[in-house]
Each structure stands twice: as C-alpha cells, then as structure tokens.
Amino acid sequence: QVQLVESGGGLVQPGGSLRLSCAASEGTFSRYAMGWFRQIPGKERKFVAGIDWSGRKATYEDSVRGRFTISRDNAMKTLYLQMNSLKLEDTAVYYCAREVRQFGLGSRAVDFGSWGQGTQVTVSS
C-alpha cells in the first residue's frame, strides 16, 4: 500500500503563492498518474489537477486553470502543486492522490484510489 505524505500548506494572503509537495513511499511512483484534490468542511472532495504518469499531460479544474501548476519529479517520487494568485475560495484541505491503475492520464476523479492525509491551505487577509 503506497503512502503519500503532503507538505507545504499554510496561511497566505490573497494574491500570494504556495507550493505543495507530496512524497510517495513506493518505487513504482513513475508508473501512476497523480492528482490533487481539495475539500472544505461539509463538502465533498473535489478534483483540482491531475498529471499523467509521464508528466507530459496535465488536467485542471476550471477555477484553478492558469493559476495552479501540477508537476512531478519521478526520480524523487514527488508530486508538486504550485499555487499562484491564491483566492479566499482556495481555502481547503488539499490531498494528494494516486490513480488505481498504472499508466493512466490523471484526468478523471473516479480513477483515483489512494490518498494522503491532507495539508491545510488557508487564504486570508
């Protein structure tokens, strides 16, 4: 069972930036598409961004496209989410996730099945 550990969350002012990281425990990291989800209290977890196993194709939810960038370093078994121009509505717990099957695209929320413990991102003035 893969372990995914997120870091990099915190408190930031509107318009600021944060970079989230997700470290994977398994050596098979490079075979799986990865993604980021977020959740606010009382709401369901929602897809934010996904990246295919090779790192060449990324998918974004409409509200973050152009502000967030997902990337991966397969040699370091680490996933990243660069978040710029942060807004109040970006406040949430952010989760790293891995697709269930190997060599996927990371473009559909239903394909993800392994989760990290989450990291809190708070955007506030």
Nearest-5° angle of CA 72, CA 112, CA 62?
70
- Among 78, 59, 61, 76, smallest CA distance to 19 is for 78
Per residue in 98-125, pLDDT tens? 999 999 898 999 999 999 999 999 999 9
On the question of pLDDT at 27 being above 90, the answer is no
Per residue in 56-102, pLDDT tens? 999 999 999 999 999 999 999 999 999 999 999 999 999 999 999 99
- DSSP line for 5-70: EEE--EEE-TT--EEEEEEESSGGGGGS-EEEEEE-TTS--EEEEEE-TTSS-EEE-TTTBTTEEE
On the question of pLDDT at 2 being above 90, the answer is no
pLDDT confidence of 1, banded at 50, 70, 90? confident
On the question of pLDDT at 4 being above 90, the answer is yes
Tokens of 100: 């269930």
